[in-house]
Chain A
Amino acid sequence: MSYFTHQDSVIYLTVAAVTVFVRRVFGLHVVTSKEMQTMKLRIPKVFAVGAVAAAMLATTGCGGILGGGGDKTADSGPIKIAAVIPMSGSSAPTGVYMKNGMQLAVNEINAKGGVLGRQLALDLEDGACDPTQAAAAANKAVSNGAVISVGGYCSGATLPTLPIFSKANIPMIIPAANSQDLVNQKLPNVFLINGTGVQQAAAAVKFMVKDGMKTVALVDDNTSYSKDIAAETKKDLASEGSVKTALATSVTAGESDYSSVVHDIMGAKPDMVYWTGYYQEGGLIINQLKAAGYQGKIMVADGSVDPSLVTIAGAANAEGVLATMTQTPDTIKGAETWIADYTKAFGAAPGPYSTQSYDAVRVAAEAMKQAKSTDGDAVTKALTAIDGFQIFSGPLKFTPEHTLSNGGFQILAVQGGKFVLKDTLN
């Protein structure tokens, strides 16, 4: 099997040799008193022989006992699609939206006969937004014989999964995570179908200029997603020239009192506050800004576009809050049937990243169909070549960086307690 090549066997022999010499070498240095010698740590001969025998076994390349995992990419049975998404921890609620979106796509495709004559099967693994757990989950998916990955929510937890999937030659279509660091690695098998921080920042700046803002305050929550957007926005504003960054600051996520940042904002007196973090803190900051008498505009990034933002901030305070957001079922004409299907299937309305997750599965299926195979290289090639495939954010064509050519960001505003489309930025 692939794990025991000739080169590896050298290592195993070294290991065995080291085992035998460990005691002598170690003993010489550490045992300094006679008392030490009374507690011997002698290698029982049986074990030593066993270890050497095991190493010999490896060198002969007798891989039969290895019960080869990792090669279970069987050519029959359902096609396994890996999805490492948070199912526990603080991001678990979003994980449910993503899971349902994926499942809906899988159900639809399977009802139409599947891909390449085979059914699709979703292999959900809990990444818990924790790098260590996500890496374990990715490895588990690889061991289960997944041929394509459609997961990835927290950028920090998605980064360590990239080398794992890429080593196994499994194409990744990342539906939600959108940190620039995912793009910067230039891995051939990684594709992002969510708008990136760069694109979101560009959209935000475009709107700020269009809306005649003179000064803005940028507030992030010190997570990679949020800081990414804030930093890009600041850069874009500097090169734009007409809008000044009055304040760029960070808060700590998970707290209740944001009076200090509110105080800073009130001191900087910006025309607009751009909050790039998530809705939990966003709601509190909006509330506390309004309580402090802030009169200017407030804009939030896509992580804050959630009905809870309005309830946490208070309906009156949230009214008129702007947001940069990719297209959602709510803002897409003709998506009503999709929302109805989703609600019928899962008994709940779709939420953040439901559409992207749904699309990720469809794109994966399309690529495999084009490639006429589940082989990693072929699918990657098909993904690179994909042109005009309809997804929620419009016709799909990847840039050379494997991101969307247009993030599809538009401006929403809260009206009557709901986010509605305000400006398509076209």
Chain B
Amino acid sequence: MTQLIWNGLFVGSFYALIALGYSMVYGIIKLLNFAHGDIYMVGAFIGFAVLSSVGVIPASMSITALLIVLLLTMIITGGIGVGIEYLAYRPLRNSPRLAVLITAVGASFTLEYGVSAIAGPNPKVFPVRLEGESFDFLGARISAPQIVLMVIAVVLMLSLNSYIQRTSMGRAMRAIALDPKGALLMGVNVNKIITWTFFIGSALAGAAGVMAGAYYGKIDFLMGFIIGLKAFTAAVIGGIGNIKGAMLGGLLLGLLEAFGSQWLGGQWRDVFTFGVLIAFLTLKPTGLLGERVTERV
């Protein structure tokens, strides 16, 4: 039981990190960034490329090396996110939503198969593996790497939250989310803020990618697809557009999946997850923490 809870929370923290990017972008420009899950995959591959080009890293240094790679990857994936926004989304800012969604699908395709064309379709083995002792805690078996990753995830989420709540940039983001035109009139540089939002969201997804690579050890070019869907589900459960909701939704979805696959069997887990998504959207489309959004005409 405690093991299930722990497993759920651990997987959920990955969902939460990715869901944050979905939620931020959606909150600000009401765009469903379909390519977001693939940024996670690109992050894992960038981490892989950087680490393999460095060569052999002594085991004692692996945590430090990983943190440096994490930062580097976050910057690069952030840049990629900004690039996608600039090329694929910005020209369509005033177009119908359908058009933007389709470019998002196109961007997702380009990233997935672009990586497969560059790195090859085979799964890759991550050069650095987080290894560590496991110990029992209240009947759950917890390993040291899991603790490290959870701490990194929580630190990233908390700093994002205080960034959005405390800084002027964060205030500008919230202002745009509330009313883009009003924010523009009040002197907020909307384009700059949107670029910055994409940067932060993509950087978080990239970080999650590196962490997943280092923990699980295997990466492949389609790894972002399903997790992107799950992260979106998490964002919806928490209330899309709401930062705290995304975190809550991620953890909750992790727990739901852990228990769902226990009850129904592993092969039904994804069916269960998407069933939950549909149930939520039908019964409580605002999610747990979301506010009622009226579409302005």
Contact = CB atoms under 8 A, between A and B. Distances in A.
B is bound to A: yes
B216 interface: yes
Contact of B266 (A89, A260, A283, A287): A260
A314 B217 contact: yes
By size class, the interface of chain A is: 20 to 34
A251 B266 contact: yes
A252 B269 contact: yes
A37 interface: no
A92 B265 contact: no
Interface in B241-272: 257-258, 261-262, 265-267, 269-270
Most chain A Cβ neighbours within 10 Å, of B11, B123, B131? B123
B152 interface: no
A314 B130 CA distance: 11
A2 interface: no
Interface string A247-265: 0011110111101110110
A68 B205 CA distance: 56
B266 A249 contact: yes
Given A284-B218, A291-B143, A314-B129, A92 B262 contact: no
B266 A252 contact: yes
B266 A280 contact: no
B125 A254 contact: no
Given A250-B265, A252-B267, A254-B223, A293 B134 contact: yes
Contacts of A92: 121-122
A345 interface: no
A311 B129 CA distance: 11
Interface string A221-255: 01000000000000000000000000001111011
A89 B121 contact: yes
Contacts of B10: 259
A283 B218 contact: yes
A90 interface: yes
Nearest to B143: A291
B220 interface: yes
Contacts of B267: 222, 249-252
Contact of A280 (B218, B226, B257, B258): B218
A259 B145 CA distance: 14
Interface string B3-37: 11001001100100000000000000000000000
Nearest to A288: B216
Interface residues of B, number: 32
A264 B262 contact: yes
Contact of B216 (A252, A256, A311): A256
B121 A287 contact: no
Contact of A257 (B3, B11, B122, B265): B11
B125 A308 contact: yes
A260 B122 contact: no
A255 B269 CA distance: 12
A93 B122 contact: yes
B171 interface: no
Contacts of B4: 263
Contacts of A249: 265-267
B104 interface: no
Interface string A279-323: 010011001000111000000000000001001101000000000
Contact of A256 (B134, B223, B269): B223
Contacts of B123: 280, 308, 312
A280 B265 contact: no
B222 interface: yes
A280 B125 CA distance: 10
Nearest to A256: B216
Contact of B7 (A255, A263, A314): A263
B141 interface: yes
Contacts of A311: 125
A255 B267 CA distance: 12
B207 interface: no
B270 A252 contact: yes
Given A90-B121, A222-B267, A263-B3, A287 B141 contact: no
B176 interface: no
Contacts of A292: 134, 141
Contacts of B143: 291
A291 B134 contact: yes
Contacts of A88: 121
Contacts of B212: 256
Contacts of A255: 223, 226
A257 B216 contact: yes
Nearest to A266: B3
Interface string B94-131: 00000000000000000000000000011101000101
Contacts of A260: 7, 257-258, 261-262, 266, 269
Interface in B200-241: 212, 216-218, 220, 222-223, 226
Contacts of B257: 260
Interface string A74-100: 000000000000001110110000000
28 contacts: A90-B220, A92-B121, A93-B121, A222-B267, A250-B265, A252-B267, A252-B270, A254-B222, A255-B223, A257-B14, A259-B11, A260-B7, A260-B258, A260-B262, A260-B266, A261-B266, A263-B7, A264-B262, A280-B123, A280-B218, A280-B220, A283-B217, A284-B216, A284-B217, A293-B141, A311-B125, A312-B125, A314-B129
Q: Ordered nearest first, which 9 A-B pairs have the shortest CB separation?
A: A250-B267, A259-B7, A256-B216, A260-B261, A311-B125, A280-B123, A312-B218, A93-B122, A251-B266
Given A252-B270, A280-B123, A308-B125, 17 more contacts: A88-B121, A90-B121, A90-B220, A90-B222, A250-B266, A255-B226, A256-B218, A256-B223, A257-B11, A259-B7, A260-B7, A260-B257, A261-B261, A263-B3, A284-B217, A291-B134, A311-B125
Interface of B: 3-4, 7, 10-11, 14, 121-123, 125, 129, 131, 134, 141, 143, 212, 216-218, 220, 222-223, 226, 257-258, 261-262, 265-267, 269-270
